[in-house]
Structure 1
Amino acid sequence: MTDTKKEESMQNVFKVGIGGPVGSGKTALIEALVPILIERGHRPGVITNDIYTQEDAQHVRRVLAGVLAPERVVGVETGACPHTAVRDDPTMNLAAGAELLDRFPDINVLLYESGGDNLTLTFSPALTDVFVFVLDTAEGDKMPRKRGPGITDSDLLIINKIDIARYVRADLAVMEGAAHDVRGERPVILTDCLTGTGVPEVADFVEERMAVTCPSAR
């Protein structure tokens, strides 16, 4: 595929960046979201980022076995800070996406998972169309008040692991309220990715933004 055709194919795919701290549930979100997207007629591909290993990619392949072909999940080993690979110089991820689309041109939704990072994480607009940031209740209900572009500027903020909030002394109402306070009109969704609670709403968000941002991906 020529470089021009690669650029055109990337423009016809809706690209979602998923970031958040280590252990917040980024991989679990992808594993819960992909089957819903497939059920709704979409054809997803997944690119994960780890610093030195392919652990996340391998985990996604195992969990989604029989749902998503393992070849549609690619792991990128960044070798450096995750910020570099998805924000500062997304060259490796762009190349991985182009290669995946070259092999599977039917893909219409590409999910990029960042390696675990801090609240300053963002995605380069050259890499993704929307940016989803995942927090979890175990980090404490104070987290939204810490702000940072991951919390305030992401297109969607997800508060995950709502099922364990009471065990970690996190007040969901306080956490959600603070998130809305610092985000204004930007959406917030509460999820439990292991049971699927809230994940259909995340799929709704993806489809709504796809229709506006990248209608050709339909």
Structure 2
Amino acid sequence: MPDQQHDQQPAQGPNVHYHQPLNQPRAMRLGVAGPVGTGKSSILATLCRELAGELSMAVVTNDIYTDEDARFLRSAGVLPTERIRAVETGACPHTAIRDDVSANLDAVEDLEEAYGPLDLVLIESGGDNLTATFSPALADAQLFCIDVAGGGDVARKGGPGITGADLLIVNKTDLAPYVDVDVDAMVADAENARGGLPVLALSKNDPDSIAELADWVRAVLARHRSGTHIPTDPGPMAPHSHSQDES
């Protein structure tokens, strides 16, 4: 893997810190959020498989009391295991990606110090509901994930993740025939809710949709490097809650 050259840096003493080279942008931080079970970890694994050959990458996962998502990614072999860090939030997952992002920022900065310069850091939220978004202090861009198994009406329910994330993914489209969901209608509802922001129908079994996702990340990264990408904040549009129909 081309980025393993960074893993072979000499050990640094306690008072030696990695400094980003002049004129070298820091790694772009891409947040991945969405309800439980929508396939966020699978999307991270897919992006690592597609991009790790050309980009120097790392991952930070968030779970409440476990490192389950990090262990899934490590076992998948998509990156060197030391480049995958777990944050255990100990509370509602949205708190660590929006309210107090310090634990995630520490994890990102530790990875950049150890293996930098990095091109891309993927940050996965713990499973949350439709109101969860990343603070722009943590994520330069964010994608939000829903899936067909959650119901064809999910996109119409709205919420800041659906309406304002940089990219909305309608995931697991290969399951649509088994859950009686019209993918085209679901995507149309999402596009209507998002007012022109991009929507991607994705399946891990569909190479074309995977290539489209990878190309989207490359395009955002290019804008980040050129200084033309401006992080936006979808922002919570309603008080955060965990009602059953939003989970």
**Same fold by TM-score greater than 0.5:** yes
Q: CA deviation at 1:45?
A: 0.3
Q: Which has the higher helix share?
A: 1
Structure 1 unaligned spans of 5+: none
Alignment of 1:27-176 (within 5 A): 27-39=41-53, 41-63=54-76, 65=77, 67-176=78-187
User: Do 1:82 and 1:114's aligned partners in 2 also have CA atoms closer than 8 Å?
Assistant: yes
Q: Distance in 2 between matches of 1:168 and 1:46?
A: 32
Which deviates the most, 188-197 or 142-151? 188-197
Q: CA deviation at 1:106?
A: 3.0
Q: Which runs of 4+ in 1 moved over 4 A?
A: 1-6, 8-11, 194-197
Q: Is the partner of 1:198 in helix, strand or coil? A: helix
- Structure with greater contact order relative to length (CA < 8 Å, sep ≥ 6): 1
Q: CA deviation at 1:177?
A: 0.5
Q: Distance in 2 between matches of 1:56 and 1:9?
A: 34
TM-score normalised by L of structure 1 = 0.91
Whether 1:184 and 2:195 are equivalent positions in the alignment is yes
Q: CA deviation at 1:173?
A: 1.3
Q: CA deviation at 1:35?
A: 1.4
Q: Which has the larger radius of gyration?
A: 2
Q: CA deviation at 1:9?
A: 10
Percent identity (aligned): 42
- Kindly tell me the number of residue pairs found equivalent between the two proteins: 212
Q: Distance in 1 between matches of 2:28 and 2:162?
A: 22
Pick closer, same or farther for the CA change 1:10–1:114 going to 2, 3 Å. Answer: farther
Structure 2 unaligned spans of 5+: 1-14, 228-247
Deviations 1:125-175 (A, max 9, x none): 010110100000001110000000010000000000000111111111110
Pick closer, same or farther for the CA change 1:58–1:181 going to 2, 3 Å. Answer: same
